[in-house]
Structure 1
Amino acid sequence: MKLNFEQLGDLAVGAAFLGTGGGGDPYVGRLMVQQCIHEGCEVEVIDPQSLDDDSLVIPTAMMGAPTVLVEKIPSGQEAVASLKRLEKRLGRKADATMPIEIGGINSTIPLVVGARLGLPIVDADGMGRAFPFLEMETFGVYGISGSPMAVSNEWGDCALIEAVDNRQMEWLSRAVAIRMGGCAYIAEYAMSGADVKRTAIPNTLTLAIRIGEVLRKAHEDHQNPIEALLGFLPSTLYRYGRVIFKGKIVDVMRETKAGFTMGRARIDGIAPFSSSMDIEIQNENLVARVNGEVKAIVPDLISIMNTETAEPITSENLRYGQRVTVVAVSVPDIMRTPEALAVFGPACFGLQEPFTSIEELA
């Protein structure tokens, strides 16, 4: 499938929704891909099942604080440089690239890399959403090493990291990204086509496009976009979603710390919802509570949407006074296994509450 401008617009909206507040503003990435198409490049997305088992796939992405990305716009060459450096280290050319996460700008960075280098982009990723840490990948959960990895910035600097495990890879590369100004561009988790099919969450790029399309068409047909979205989800790997709160944002605390956007948001309820909801943020929305009671918790998705437009709001764009609807969505089963929860469950973020699915919380 070769992407067109309308699909890019839908992808930006769908990726913002799946990003649960994190992953960076996909609007920036959308403009970068549009520029590639204007220059005559093609953006080809392929199904993971079409990969040869011995193909080499090198995922590419941005890492760092989304708040930094607002003021430090990439050219698109940074992630290209990282992929080329990793190819040199591996002694082999990549057959394709792929997102490490489907949320935010990282749904589009691989599209830019693929367009610039003439590589197809695999319709899959390793998070099914966005997470703040690089070890939080289904790739790693199911046995793929993230190292060696390459980290590049806009000045042409590039670091090659070879770590003993994926957590150490995250720790070392985070320090490099901070030295590079708070965000950098990476190539990591190089793997075979067989490993992509075994460890990746399939067809998430086309899912993001479909989410954006559902919201857009509901607007065009004068229907409720959020209701349309919730009606669509049961036909996907994300089988269940519901509105868990509606209200007005009355407080946002946000700071860039240790290479992340850290903070919280408080939402005062609007009927039929009373009281207030507090949402903890580390790049992404981690847990939503009302009067201390958990309403949704990582890894399930917590997406804050503009009530009037149904546009998902990323963490760096939360503002006092916004009227919002908070939607929680279940993640695919591959992300709820004991092995997966040991890598990106609540305890991995220092949260005291155990993981409870939104179906149970309902």
Structure 2
Amino acid sequence: MRITAGDVAALERGVALLGSGGGGDTVTAAVLLRRLLADGRSLAVRAVGELAPDTRVVPIGVVGATAAFTEKLPGGDEFAAAVAAVERWTGERAAALMSIEIGGLNGLLPLVVAEQLGLAYVDADLSGRGLPRLDQFSVAATGRGIAPAVLAEPGGQVVVLAAGSDLMVERGTRAFLTSSGGWAAFALAPIPAGDLAACTVPGTTSGALALGRRVLAVGESPPRPALEAALDGSVLARGRVLEVARHPGPGRHGSPGFGRGSVTLADHRDGSLLRLEMENEYLLALRDGAPVASTPDVLSVLDHRTGVPVSCDAIRVGVEVDVVRLAAAPFWTDPRRLPVLQPRAYGIDCDPVRPR
């Protein structure tokens, strides 16, 4: 598959939808990608099965406060420094890159980095959607582990988290980001291409592009059946946001957690109240108090007029929205991995709600 400048709008819409209200703003990364693909250029995206089994693939992405990424722009060397550091530490040379997360900013920016570094790009990621924590990556869920991991921040610091549990790597990363400007380029140890099918979510870039194309094709304010067909999902509610409540997260073991919140809207169809519980992403939907959808399925909120996804930090009272559900990647519905993304993994006392 090759991506051209004409594909960027669809890819941006697809990754924003898969961000489930998180993942960071895609605008800056889309501008960089369009600039890279100007003058008729295109970028190759390789399927997992097209690579030789011993090809070393390095997962990369932005971690931290993605809002800070647009305020403190990269100098241009952060990802090169992160990839070089992980190569030195492991003694293995990167032949290709992949994204740590298809949802949001990281669904676009690694494509730019791969082209800049002259490396192949692989159609897979470690999330299949937007995720808030490193210890929820597919490599953690399958027991492969995260360490060693490299962080390179805009000020020039490069840190290698050489060993430790997935939770310790997550905590160490957050501690580093707090003192270094809010975001960093992130790289994991190379993964042999022959192992990718077992520990990653394949086909996510091509899937996001196809999703975006379908959604853009139905236009603005589409009828509900047309939107559901484009999403291959369901519209949970259409209505005006009545209330947005935000409060600090509960944290664990005395440490601060991500901020929490809820969004309430009245469904125009029947007057029922739909409430969304959110953290960095939308996690649980309740209709008149009864759960109707939850993570690991992807819950997204779309501006009803434009169809543009509305992030958790941007949702406001008075906006007319569509609340939609997209099916989770099969990787996450496997009973062995479901506990990693079920509501209780976020401290919500509710079983996963599956489509009927």
TM-score in same-fold range (> 0.5): yes
User: Partner residue of 2:239?
Assistant: 247
SS in structure 1 opposite 2:336?
A: helix
Q: Which residue identity lines up with residue 324 of structure 2 in the other structure?
A: V
Give 2:316's match in structure 1, choosing from 305, 316, 319.
319
- 1:225: Cα distance to partner? 7.2
Worse overlay, 311-320 or 292-301: 311-320
Q: Do the aligned partners of 1:248 and 1:321 also contact (CA within 8 Å) in 2?
A: yes
Which residue identity is paired with 1:140? Answer: A
Residues in 1 aligned to 2:248 and 2:73: alpha-carbon distance in whole angstroms: 17
Residue 282 of structure 1: CA displacement? 1.8
* Unpaired stretches in structure 1, ≥5 consecutive residues: 235-240
Whether the aligned pair in 2 keeps the contact of 1:98 and 1:123 (CA below 8 Å) is yes
The answer (yes or no) to whether the contact 1:64–1:260 under 8 Å persists in 2 is no
Deviation of the 1:202 alpha carbon: 1.6
Structure 1 stretch displaced more, 35-44 or 56-65: 35-44
Q: Where does residue 129 of structure 1 map in the other structure? A: 129
The CA distance in 2 between the partners of 1:157 and 1:120, in whole Å, is: 26
Give the 3-state SS of the residue equivalent to 1:338 in structure 2: coil
Q: Does 1:330 align with 2:322?
A: no
The Cα offsets for residues 115-170 of structure 1, whole Å up to 9 and x where unpaired, read as: 11011111111211011011112222223221111111111111100232222211
What aligned pairs does 1:97-176 form with structure 2 within 5 A after superposition? Answer: 97-176=97-176
SS of equivalent to 1:123 = strand
Aligned residue in 2 for 1:15: 15
Give the drift of 1:275.
3.6
Aligned to 1:80: 80
Question: 2 CA distance for matches of 1:176 and 1:153?
Answer: 9
Identify if the C-alpha distance between structure 1 residues 278 and 72 changes in structure 2 by more than 3 Å, giving closer, same or farther. farther
Counterpart amino acid of residue 175 in structure 2 = A
In structure 2, the CA distance between the partners of 1:259 and 1:228, relative to structure 1 (3 Å rule), is farther
Change (3 A) 1:306 1:233: closer
Q: For 1:82, give the aligned amino acid.
A: A
Q: How far is 1:273 from its partner?
A: 3.8
Separation in structure 2 between the aligned mates of residue 278 and residue 94 of structure 1, nearest angstrom:
45
> How far apart in 2 are the matches of 1:256 and 1:181?
21
User: 8 Å contact 1:97–1:110 — kept in the other structure?
Assistant: yes
CA 1:215/1:171 → structure 2, altered by over 3 Å: closer, same or farther?
same
Taking the aligned partners of 1:356 and 1:254, their CA distance within structure 2 comes to 24
Could you tell which deviates more after superposition, 336-345 or 117-126?
Answer: 336-345
2:229 aligned to which of 228, 231, 244: 231
Distance in 1, Cα, partners of 2:248 & 2:31: 25
CA displacement at 1:260 relative to structure 2: 7.2
Could you list the runs of 5+ residues in structure 2 that have no partner in the other structure? 250-254
Structure 2 distance, partners of 1:208, 1:9, is 11
Match of 2:94 in 1: 94
TM-score, normalized by length of structure 2? 0.91
Deviation per CA, 1:23-80, whole angstroms, max 9, x where unpaired? 1111221112223334998632111111111111101011123443343333453223
- Tell me which amino acid in the other structure corresponds to 1:145: G
Equivalence for 1:300? 297
- Note if 1:182 corresponds to 2:182: yes
Misfit runs of 4+, over 6 Å: 255-260
